[in-house]
Chain A
C-alpha cells in the first residue's frame, strides 16, 4: 500500500530526487522547495521543447488544456514489485541535486550520479542539477554532456526561472519518451507479469494463457502511459479494449486495474467538475473494481502475496472521492470495511498506512473521535517498533488525538476561546456547548489515562523531555484519584527525571501540582483609606467619610472605593498581600521551590516564597508584592516552580474544577479531600494602582494606654504624626468622628498646618485636650447615667466607645511636572483614622443622696422678729427662722461618695449664695458671693458623707402669702393665685431643684494633675424625688405661740426689776398668751383646736391631779374657722406653779376636708379625719418674786 492515494494518483509521474555529494541541510531544503513548486506543467508550455520525430500515438493530446503532473519522491524509494501492473509506480525520471562548492570535482559528481541512476532502471530521463558552480567548474561544465546542468550563481528569481525552464525540458523529454515506448509496446513480445502470476512458465497451458492475456495487459499499460502523458481520451480508448480482452481471458486483476484507469481518465477529462451522475458512475465502477480485486484472490498463494492491499486501496480511493458530510454514512461504511481488512494484511507497514488513511479520512469527515481512535492504532504500531524515530512519530500522532480525548495541552488549547466558561452550568445553552463539555468530559478517564500514558512513554523513547513532562503533569493533575500511590510516586519521578534533562527555567503550559485557589484579598488599612479627590473643590474631604448612625444610606452617594467589595486600589511602592490556598491531594511530599502571583499587566513585582506541603493536606499562604506602575493589575493566578519546571496555575481552572465537583461531574474536590473547609467563591477584585501617595503614621505619645481618665478629668494628650511615604504631604485637614466627640475639647491643628508640607520622614506633634465623660450605670439604684456635663447632652452614650481623630491628607497635585498627561490626573488623597483609646475609669461614685431635715424648737418670744433675723443672719446665714412657723428649720443634702480607685480624692464643696429681697431690706451687710466648706478626704476603698446645708425651700410660697396678706398695689405677686394641681406642683418642684443644684459645685482633686468636677445634678434630682413632697410642700396649717405684748406694757415695774423680762415668763403670775393658726391653702378650713403644755418629762401639766400649770380660757375643743391665706388667733392665760422648761404644742382636727387636703395628708378613706400638729415651742419659766 502507498500513502495518500486517490483516484487521480494513476495520472501522476514519479520523479526521484537524489542528493549527490554533500549538501548542507538548509540548502537541500531550499532546493526541494523550489522543485516541489513545479508539480504541474501545462502542455502548452512545453511545446517549444517538444519536437515530433514521428507521428504521435496520442492522437487526442489536449495541447491547449492538458498538463503533466509530477510527484517528487525525495530521497527516492526502492522499486515496487507492481510496476508492470500500474505504470505510475515506476520512477520515470531521476533528478540529482548537487552543491558545487561542496563537491569541487564535477567528474566525481557525474560518476556518483550515474551510479545512483543504475538502481532506477525504469527511468526515462536523467538530469543532474549543479548549483552555485565556480568559474573553473563553469568552463569544464560544457564538456560533461547533456545530463549535467549547471546553475550559475545568481539571484533567487533567476534561479527559479532557470529551474522552470529545465523542468519544462524534462517534461518534453518525458513526453517524447512516452511516445517512443507506446510505439514499441504494441509490437513487442514482452510478457507483463505481476506477483500474482504463477511462476511455472514451462507449462504449455500457462504459456498459452499468458500469450492470450498479453494483448489485454499491453493495452492497459498503453492506457497507463496515455494517462501519464496527459491524454485521457486516448487512455480511455485503450482501457476499453483492455477491459474486453481481460474479461474474455478471465484476468480479473488486470480487469480491475483497467477499470480503475478508466475512472481516472474520466475524472481527468472532466477537469474537476463533478455532478451526481458522475458520482454515481464513479461509485458503480469502483464497486466493480473492489469486487474484481476480491475475485482475484488466490487461496494457495495468499500467505505470500495478496491483492487485498489493492482492494483496500480502492476502498480508500472511493471513500476519499465521496468524503463529504452529506455522504457520511456511506463513507463510514467504506472506512469500516477498510478497517476490517486490516487484520488480514500481511505487511505491518501496510496496516500502518491503512490506519493512517482511515484516520485522515475520518478527520476530514468531521468524526474526531473516530480519527483519534485510528490515530491511536497508528501510534500502537509505531510503538511496537523499538527505535527513536518511530517513537517520535508515535508521539506526534498521539498529540493529534488529544483534542478528541480532551487531554490537549494548554498550549494548543489557547487557540480556543474559553472566556464564557466561568460560572456556566452544563446545560446553560447551546452556544457554549462545546466549551462546557470540554470542561466536564473527564469521565472518560480510562481513555484519557491510557492516552496520556502512551504519550509519556513515546516521549521518553523519543527523547523529548518537555513533552514527557507535560504528559506526566496532565496525568497527575487530572487523574490523581484513579492512580495508585505507587503510580503517583512514579509520575513524580517521571516529572523530576524529565526536568533534569530540561534547561533551567523551562516553562510548560500544563500545570502539575499543587492546586491553587484564591483564599482572600485582605484589605490593609492603608488601602481602605484612599479617597478620590475633586480638583474643583478645596474641601475634598467633605462627604468622604460615612457619618451618622447608619452604615448604609440609600440616598447618599457613597464612594465606590469604600462601599463596593469589587474595587481595590493599590499604591505604587507599597507592599500588598494576597492569601492563596494550596492543596496537595497526592501521597508524596510536595516541594514547591517558588510560588508567586503572576501579574499579566507587568506593573507588579511579586515576591516568591518556598512552601512544603505534606501529603493529602492544604495550606493557606500569604503572597505579597509591590505595584510598580500606575494602571490596572490583572492577577489570574500564580506562577509555580515545581518539579523543576515553571508553570502557571490559573484560579479560574480550579474554580471550574470545584464547580464540576459540586455538580457531581468530576471525581473529587482536591481541597475537600485534603481536609480544607468549604470556601465561598472569592472573586478577584478590580485592582488598579494609584501613583505614589504619602503615608501618615500616628502614634500616641506614651502609648495607647496613656489616655486613661477618671470621670470628668481633663488632660492634654500629644499625638505624633510621621510621613512614612515617599511623597510630601501638602494638604491636611483634621476632623472628628465616632462617638463621644464632645470628649475632645480642643485640637491644636494649627501645629499640623504650620508643619506643612510634611517631607518624607518628617514628624509633627499634635496636642489634643480631652475630657472624660460620665461612666454608664452602676450598681447603685440611686445613681443614674447621664450625658456629658460640658456638652449638656442628655443622650445615653454607649459604653466603651471612643472618638476618632480623622485626618484627610494628600500629596501634591502632580507627581511629575514634566508629564502632561499626569497633570490631568489628580492623585487620590488619603484618610487616617486615629482612634483615641480613651479609657474612662470610675472615679468617685455616688452611693446615695438624701435630703435630711432637722428642727430646733424656738423660744416663745414677744415678737422680736427683726432683731432675731438680724442676729441670726450674722451668725449663720444658711440657718433661717420661719417667723410664722416659730421654729428653726435646717435642711441638709447628704451625699455619700465612694472611692473605688487606687488614689486619694479630696472633695471641695462650693455653694453660691443669693440674698433674698427681704434680707436686703432688713440687713445692710452684704454677704460673700460664694461660701466654701472645709475639704473632705476620701482614701482608697473608703466612703464618705458630705453634708451640704440648704436654704429653706418653702420661702417662695410664704413670700406669696406674705404679699397676699398685705399686697401693695401694682405688685405682680398680687395677681398670683397658687394652685395645688399636680402639674403645677411638679413644675414648681423642678424649678426649685434646678435653682438649688445650680448653686452647688462639687469638685475633686486626685494627685497632682488629675482634677475634675462631679456631676451631681441627676443624682440629686433622683434623690429628691422621693422626699420632696414631704419636705417642700407647706403644711395646710402652721401654728405659732407668742406672748401678748399688752400684758408686759401694763406692768413696767416688773419689766424694770427683772433681768429676764425680755422673752421670759415668770412663775406664779398669770401669763397671757395667744396661738396663731395660719391657713396655707386656698380654701377656708374649719378646725377643732387644742393646746397642750408639757414638762421636760413629757407629762401634760394642765391635766390630772398633779397639774403644775393652771390655765384660764379654753385649751381644748376650740372651734375655729380660718379664711384662705389668713391667720386666726386664740387667746388664753397660763399660771405656772413650778419654774422650769415647758413645751407648748398646738394641734387641730380639720373638719369637712376637701380633696386637696386629703391628697396632701394621704388619707385612705374619705371619712377619716385629718389631724395636723405643729412643731413644739419652748417656754422657759423663771423664778418669780419668791
Chain B
C-alpha cells in the first residue's frame, strides 16, 4: 500500500478533469500542492514520451524526492497520472486499466461534455476503492 499517492486525470487540452489524493498518509495541504506541481511538471516528459512508444502504460516517467510519476495515455490523449512512492508496477498498471474503463463509461454519458470536470461521486468512490485495492 502506497503511503503517498496523488491521482490526476488530464484531458487532451492539458486541463485536469479529476483530482484525488489516494494515499494512506495524513493529508497535508502543502504536500498536496507539491504533488500537483510534480504532476504538472511531468506533463512535459509525457508529451514527448507518448509519441515514441505504442504502449499506453508509461512507467516511471519522472521522479522527484523519492516520488515517482507513472502515466497511462489513452487513445484520445487523455492522461491518467499517478504520483506514488511504491514500486508496485503491476498493481499500478491494473489500477490504470480499471480507471480507464470507468472513464470510458463517463464518456458514454451523453450529458457529459468531453474535457470538462468529472463531478460524479460514484466515479470518485470507485476510483478510491480501486486505489485501495491495487496500490
A residues lining the B interface (CB < 8 Å): 328-329, 332, 336, 339-340, 343, 362, 366-370, 372-373, 376, 405, 426-427, 436-437, 440-444, 446-447, 450, 663-665
Across the interface, B36 reaches (CB within 8 A) one of A329, A426, A444, A663, namely A444
Complex Cα gap A483–B41 (Å): 24
What is the total of A-B residue contacts with beta carbons within 8 Å?
75
Chain B residues with Cβ below 8 Å from A369 are 40-44
Chain A residues with Cβ below 8 Å from B89 are none
When C-beta atoms are compared, the residue in chain B nearest to A426 turns out to be: B13
Q: Which residues of B1-57 have CB atoms within 8 Å of chain A's CB atoms?
A: 13-17, 19, 32-33, 36-38, 40-45, 48-49, 52
Do A368 and B33 touch across chains, with their CB atoms under 8 A apart?
no
When C-beta atoms are compared, the residue in chain B nearest to A442 turns out to be: B15
Across the interface, B17 reaches (CB within 8 A) one of A336, A367, A443, namely A443
Q: A373-B38, A437-B13, A443-B117 are in contact. Are A450 and B33 (CB under 8 A)?
A: yes
Do B44 and A367 touch across chains, with their CB atoms under 8 A apart?
yes
Q: Most chain-B CB neighbours within 10 Å: which of A329, A426, A436, A437? A: A426
Q: Most chain-A CB neighbours within 10 Å: which of B36, B37, B52, B116? A: B37
Give 20 A-B contacts (CB < 8 Å), ordered by A residue: A336-B64, A339-B64, A340-B65, A362-B44, A366-B44, A367-B44, A369-B41, A369-B43, A372-B41, A373-B37, A426-B13, A440-B13, A443-B15, A443-B16, A443-B17, A444-B15, A446-B19, A446-B33, A446-B36, A447-B33
Chain B residues with Cβ below 8 Å from A362 are 44
Do B14 and A437 touch across chains, with their CB atoms under 8 A apart?
yes
Do A441 and B48 touch across chains, with their CB atoms under 8 A apart?
no
Complex Cα gap A362–B62 (Å): 13
Complex Cα gap A550–B19 (Å): 60
Do B49 and A329 touch across chains, with their CB atoms under 8 A apart?
yes
Q: A370-B44, A663-B113 are in contact. Are A441 and B62 (CB under 8 A)?
A: no
Complex Cα gap A367–B49 (Å): 12
Determine if B115 is an interface residue (Cβ-Cβ < 8 Å). yes
Do B44 and A368 touch across chains, with their CB atoms under 8 A apart?
yes
Determine if B59 is an interface residue (Cβ-Cβ < 8 Å). no
B residues lining the A interface (CB < 8 Å): 13-17, 19, 32-33, 36-38, 40-45, 48-49, 52, 62-65, 113, 115-117
Across the interface, B45 reaches (CB within 8 A) one of A332, A368, A405, namely A332
Chain B residues with Cβ below 8 Å from A368 are 44
Complex Cα gap A663–B115 (Å): 9
Do B37 and A664 touch across chains, with their CB atoms under 8 A apart?
no
Do A367 and B45 touch across chains, with their CB atoms under 8 A apart?
yes
User: When A and B form their complex, which 5 residue pairs have the shortest distance between CB atoms, in order from nearest?
Assistant: A664-B116, A373-B41, A367-B44, A443-B15, A664-B113
Do B36 and A447 touch across chains, with their CB atoms under 8 A apart?
yes
Do B44 and A340 touch across chains, with their CB atoms under 8 A apart?
no
Chain B residues with Cβ below 8 Å from A663 are 113, 115-116
Do A444 and B40 touch across chains, with their CB atoms under 8 A apart?
yes
Do B15 and A328 touch across chains, with their CB atoms under 8 A apart?
no
Chain A residues with Cβ below 8 Å from B115 are 426-427, 663-665
Complex Cα gap A336–B65 (Å): 10
Complex Cα gap A376–B65 (Å): 15
Do A665 and B37 touch across chains, with their CB atoms under 8 A apart?
no
Do B62 and A336 touch across chains, with their CB atoms under 8 A apart?
yes
Chain B residues with Cβ below 8 Å from A336 are 62-64
Least Cβ–Cβ distance between B39 and chain A, in angstroms:
9
When C-beta atoms are compared, the residue in chain A nearest to B44 turns out to be: A367
Chain B residues with Cβ below 8 Å from A426 are 13, 115
When C-beta atoms are compared, the residue in chain B nearest to A380 turns out to be: B34
Across the interface, A343 reaches (CB within 8 A) one of B15, B44, B65, namely B65
Do A665 and B116 touch across chains, with their CB atoms under 8 A apart?
yes
When C-beta atoms are compared, the residue in chain A nearest to B17 turns out to be: A443
Q: Most chain-B CB neighbours within 10 Å: which of A362, A369, A372, A427? A: A369
When C-beta atoms are compared, the residue in chain B nearest to A339 turns out to be: B64
When C-beta atoms are compared, the residue in chain B nearest to A325 turns out to be: B48
Chain A residues with Cβ below 8 Å from B16 are 443-444
Complex Cα gap A366–B45 (Å): 10
Complex Cα gap A664–B13 (Å): 13
Q: A329-B49, A437-B14, A665-B15 are in contact. Are A447 and B65 (CB under 8 A)?
A: no
Q: A440-B15, A447-B33 are in contact. Are A340 and B63 (CB under 8 A)?
A: yes
Chain B residues with Cβ below 8 Å from A329 are 48-49, 52
Chain B residues with Cβ below 8 Å from A370 are 41, 44-45
When C-beta atoms are compared, the residue in chain B nearest to A336 turns out to be: B63
Complex Cα gap A367–B17 (Å): 22
Complex Cα gap A441–B11 (Å): 10
Complex Cα gap A440–B45 (Å): 21
Complex Cα gap A340–B17 (Å): 30
Across the interface, A436 reaches (CB within 8 A) one of B13, B17, B41, namely B13
When C-beta atoms are compared, the residue in chain B nearest to A663 turns out to be: B113
Least Cβ–Cβ distance between A948 and chain B, in angstroms:
80
When C-beta atoms are compared, the residue in chain A nearest to B114 turns out to be: A427
Complex Cα gap A440–B41 (Å): 18
Do A664 and B41 touch across chains, with their CB atoms under 8 A apart?
no
Known contacts A443-B15, A446-B33, A446-B36; 11 additional CB pairs below 8 A are A328-B48, A336-B63, A340-B64, A367-B41, A427-B115, A437-B13, A443-B16, A444-B36, A663-B115, A663-B116, A664-B115
Complex Cα gap A446–B32 (Å): 9
When C-beta atoms are compared, the residue in chain A nearest to B61 turns out to be: A332
Complex Cα gap A153–B44 (Å): 56
Chain A residues with Cβ below 8 Å from B40 are 369, 373, 405, 444, 447
Complex Cα gap A373–B64 (Å): 11
Least Cβ–Cβ distance between B40 and chain A, in angstroms:
6
Complex Cα gap A915–B47 (Å): 112
Chain B residues with Cβ below 8 Å from A665 are 15, 115-116
When C-beta atoms are compared, the residue in chain A nearest to B52 turns out to be: A329
Do A441 and B15 touch across chains, with their CB atoms under 8 A apart?
yes
Do B15 and A376 touch across chains, with their CB atoms under 8 A apart?
no
Chain A residues with Cβ below 8 Å from B17 are 443
Complex Cα gap A372–B49 (Å): 19
Complex Cα gap A239–B43 (Å): 43
Chain A residues with Cβ below 8 Å from B13 are 426, 436-437, 440-441
Least Cβ–Cβ distance between B126 and chain A, in angstroms:
21
Complex Cα gap A443–B33 (Å): 14
Least Cβ–Cβ distance between A379 and chain B, in angstroms:
12
Chain A residues with Cβ below 8 Å from B37 are 373, 376, 447, 450
Chain A residues with Cβ below 8 Å from B49 are 329
Q: A368-B44, A369-B41, A447-B37 are in contact. Are A664 and B64 (CB under 8 A)?
A: no
Complex Cα gap A444–B33 (Å): 11
Least Cβ–Cβ distance between A219 and chain B, in angstroms:
40
Least Cβ–Cβ distance between A448 and chain B, in angstroms:
10
Least Cβ–Cβ distance between B32 and chain A, in angstroms:
8
Chain A residues with Cβ below 8 Å from B52 are 329
Complex Cα gap A370–B44 (Å): 7
Complex Cα gap A664–B115 (Å): 8
Chain A residues with Cβ below 8 Å from B15 are 437, 440-444, 665
Complex Cα gap A447–B16 (Å): 11
Complex Cα gap A450–B35 (Å): 12
Chain B residues with Cβ below 8 Å from A437 are 13-15
Chain A residues with Cβ below 8 Å from B63 are 336, 340
Chain A residues with Cβ below 8 Å from B113 are 663-664
Complex Cα gap A329–B48 (Å): 8
Do B116 and A441 touch across chains, with their CB atoms under 8 A apart?
no
Least Cβ–Cβ distance between B112 and chain A, in angstroms:
9
Least Cβ–Cβ distance between A447 and chain B, in angstroms:
6
Complex Cα gap A441–B113 (Å): 16
Complex Cα gap A343–B67 (Å): 13
Least Cβ–Cβ distance between A361 and chain B, in angstroms:
13
When C-beta atoms are compared, the residue in chain A nearest to B12 turns out to be: A427
Chain A residues with Cβ below 8 Å from B116 are 663-665
Complex Cα gap A1008–B131 (Å): 100
Chain B residues with Cβ below 8 Å from A442 are 15
When C-beta atoms are compared, the residue in chain A nearest to B113 turns out to be: A664
Least Cβ–Cβ distance between A68 and chain B, in angstroms:
40
Chain A residues with Cβ below 8 Å from B38 are 373
Q: Most chain-A CB neighbours within 10 Å: which of B16, B38, B40, B44? A: B44
